[in-house]
Amino acid sequence: MNAIPRDVAEQLCAQIRQGNRGKWYTFNGMWCWGCAKFSGGNPAKLCFSSQPDYRGCAQVNARYDQQTTAAR
C-alpha cells in the first residue's frame, strides 16, 4: 500500500465525515463521530494522522485505494 498524501487524506476524511454525519447508528458513523469529537478539530489528532503514511483510518484507506484503483 502506498502512502496517502496528507492533503488528500484530509480531503477524503472530510468527505467521509460529511457522508457519515447523522449516521451515529452505523459503525462507520460512530467511528467518525468519535474520531472528530476526541480530536478536538485538530487534524493532527484525527485517525488518519496516527500513522506516518496517513493510513491510520480504514475508511480513508478504502476510499483512497478505491479511487486510485479506478483511475488505473
pLDDT in tens, 37-69: 999 989 999 999 999 999 999 999 999 999 998
14-23 pLDDT, tens digit each = 999 999 999 9
> Domain segments of the chain: what residues?
6-70
Residue 60's pLDDT is what? 98
Q: Return the sign of the alpha-carbon dihedral for residues 15, 19, 25, 26.
A: negative
Residue 71's pLDDT is what? 74
Residue 55's pLDDT is what? 97
Alpha carbon 3 to its chain centroid, in Å, reads: 13
pTM listed for this prediction: 0.90
